[in-house]
Amino acid sequence: MTSTKIHSTHCERTAFVYVRQSTWLQVSENRESTERQYNLRERAIGLGWPESRVEVIDEDQGRSGSTAIFRTGFQRLAAEVGLGNVGIVLMLEASRLARNNSDWYRLIEICGISGTLIADESAVYNPREPNDRLLLGVKGTLSEAELFTLRTRLYEGRWNKARKGLLRFPLPVGYVVATDGAWLVDPDTQVRERLSYVFNSFRRLGVVRAVVRDLRQQGLELPTRVTAREAYGSLIWKQPTLSTVFRILHNPAYAGAYVYGRSEYLSDRRSPKTGKASAHVRNVAQWPVRITEHHPAYIGWEEFVKNQEQLRQNWGRDDNRGVPREGRALLQGIIYCGVCGRKMSVQNRSVKESRSPSYVCMQGYQNGEEKTCQCMTSRPIDAAVAEAFLVAISPVNLKVATQVMDQIDQELVSHRRQRELQLEQARYQARLAQRQYDSVDPSNRLVAAELERRWNEKLERVTELERAFAQAERDAEWKLTPEERAAITELSRDLPAIWSAETTTNQERKQLLRMAIESVQVEGVSQAGQIEVQIRWRTGTITMLNVKRTTPGECSLKTPEEAVSRIHKMVPRRTYAEIAAALNRAGLRSAFGRRFTSQHVGYICRRDGLGGRKPRSLPETPGSVVQ
């Protein structure tokens, strides 16, 4: 497409590269962008112009783009184009040529008349072609949307910088940045030694949890840089946690590598909860920017790669323990520990075990404490919560149901308002940061660099919020219409049937629960054999329930009742061995499906308090004492 637009008549004329940065500050500080602009010279040569006929116009460096009057470079360019001396005009984004739209349209006009092409980094436009003309017009309009352009430049600039290992980001703890931008190991010996201790400990133990426990036992804390605004960058010491140690072990910076783009954000993979594009971590081999031996290392690159493999395998082992997560535990993700307030995780049993999953408060354990905080079988809790849910949504309690819906509606409105406010605030701050940046004395380079950094930060925040806002708008589209409201009311009448239908999946049951329930809190410590369940409904009301704990063995395997009652009858007259033989003859088998032995019979007698071979009266109800 590009080559078909360029004819020899174009190449015979001069190619003009138009370079411009609007303030001297940008000229001196924002070299990245300037560099990209000068790269256009190479592009002109690549498109077929001889080096001698490529001219760079950079007289307008440091002049405002809002009007052409003070930009002699632009005027010269327009004059040259008008005289028919120019074959092509190259610029960074086509829109940058002129901020002022009237200048821009005039230039397109003149280029059209004189048969001059316009090109940027990605495409070549011929202003004589209606389509291209339209595109150029749109580009000019877009240039007025300052944020858009700035964002593109920011993004491209970032990658350009990152590819050379020059893009700065907050360094991981253990490194400090020198005045020239180089990474140095932290001068604080304690920081360096503590990090080395972590790596050594992992080398020795091979499991992150063990490393955390080891650190805790030794009473060793880990250094952290403060990221909050006040006291930004200062060093504090914190209790080691699983995630901190994970982060340290996963960070390639400690192996001396400069890495950018470790995660990619794919729009097709979104968090079902927040709707945000979830980060997908790339393989080491796929990292777009990876500069090894960029700075002094704490561990070798080989060891880093080995650690990643080790971590992956550990994870895999954990994962294999449970059944695939279709998940029978209905409260997964909304259940909290009533003792310590943390979110509880679900421990699935293997299919063979046929036990129902458990809710476990694991975080303390993972962070090196002696044992888990509390643990309970999901079945009785799920059953109680589901019952409460069905009662709450039953026609008798329709009011609750409609309240729930109103609550959802209100939340959508108030969330939206919050997001709007947030965005407005972020935009204001970006404008403020830009003004501060533009007004600082260019010779005060340190201040200017800091201000530029803040400005960039603000712009990124705006972009991020805009994306979140758009996503939330899309998500909120299921706002309830009166018809839907009626349909749901209708549905709530049929809910018990739907709930228990075989075609309803656990996934759907979970969704139904979440529509009405904000969270569930359980506490099974203070009362023996009892679990206190607190349901927090989305309406804001709270329901308290008491659930009986499943006693150990209640649902485990049982010796067949018939065998037990026969044992009870025979005990006064026969030996254990004789009883076992009689049971086996009768075709009875133990709980595990095996033939009875004298030991087995003895165990049941001791359990039920029967003496062997001693004549004594039989219990009245032998069947009631089964295991």
The length of the chain in residues reads 627
Q: How many angstroms separate the Cα of 333 from the Cα of each of 206, 254, 521, 546?
A: 29, 34, 11, 21
Segment interacting with Zn ion (CB under 5 A) among 200-208, 355-363, 401-409, 473-481:
355-363
Q: From the candidates 8, 22, 439, 492, give the one annotated as an active-site residue.
A: 22
CB of residue 361 to Zn ion, shortest distance in Å: 3
Q: Does 525 bind Zn ion (CB under 5 A)?
A: no
Q: What are the two backbone dihedrals, phi and then psi, of residue 299, each rounded to the nearest 5 degrees? A: -135, 160
Which residues ranging from 55 to 84 are in contact with Zn ion (CB under 5 A)?
Answer: none
Q: Does 339 bind Zn ion (CB under 5 A)?
A: yes
Q: How many angstroms separate the Cα of 508 from the Cα of each of 210, 275, 392, 517?
A: 38, 19, 18, 14
Catalytic, 66? Answer: no
Q: Does 373 bind Zn ion (CB under 5 A)?
A: yes
Which residues ranging from 538 to 577 are in contact with Zn ion (CB under 5 A)?
Answer: none
Strands (E), 124-189: 124-125, 175-177, 183-185
Provide DSSP, 351-377.
GGG-PPPEEE--HHHHTT-SS-S-EEE
CA distance 536 to 544: 9
CA distance 160 to 35: 10
For residue 224, which of 203, 201, 240 has the smallest C-alpha distance? 240
CB of residue 368 to Zn ion, shortest distance in Å: 15
Q: Does 361 bind Zn ion (CB under 5 A)?
A: yes
Which residues ranging from 452 to 481 are in contact with Zn ion (CB under 5 A)?
Answer: none
CB of residue 519 to Zn ion, shortest distance in Å: 14
CA distance 320 to 304: 25
Segment interacting with Zn ion (CB under 5 A) among 85-93, 216-224, 371-379, 485-493:
371-379
Q: Which tokens sit at 149?
A: 């352009």
- DSSP conformational letter for 501: -
Segment interacting with Zn ion (CB under 5 A) among 299-307, 329-337, 382-390, 524-532:
329-337
Binds Zn ion by CB under 5 A, chosen from 184, 226, 340, 586:
340
Amino acid letter for position 448: A
CA distance 498 to 609: 48
Segment interacting with Zn ion (CB under 5 A) among 297-305, 368-376, 404-412, 439-447:
368-376
Nearer to Zn ion, 88 or 522 (CB): 522
Binds Zn ion by CB under 5 A, chosen from 47, 88, 211, 337:
337
CB of residue 259 to Zn ion, shortest distance in Å: 36
CB of residue 375 to Zn ion, shortest distance in Å: 10
CB of residue 531 to Zn ion, shortest distance in Å: 13
Q: Does 360 bind Zn ion (CB under 5 A)?
A: no
Nearer to Zn ion, 125 or 336 (CB): 336
Helix residue spans in 440-505 (DSSP H): 445-475, 482-500
For residue 121, which of 13, 260, 2 has the smallest C-alpha distance? 2
CB of residue 261 to Zn ion, shortest distance in Å: 38
Segment interacting with Zn ion (CB under 5 A) among 66-74, 293-301, 353-361, 487-495:
353-361
236 close to 194: Cβ distance less than 8 angstroms: no
Q: Does 362 bind Zn ion (CB under 5 A)?
A: no
Q: Nearest-CB residue to Zn ion?
A: 373
Amino acid letter for position 167: L
Q: Does 522 bind Zn ion (CB under 5 A)?
A: no
Nearer to Zn ion, 143 or 374 (CB): 374
Question: Under the rule (CB under 5 A), what is the footprint of Zn ion?
Answer: 337, 339-340, 361, 373
Q: Which residues are catalytic?
A: 22
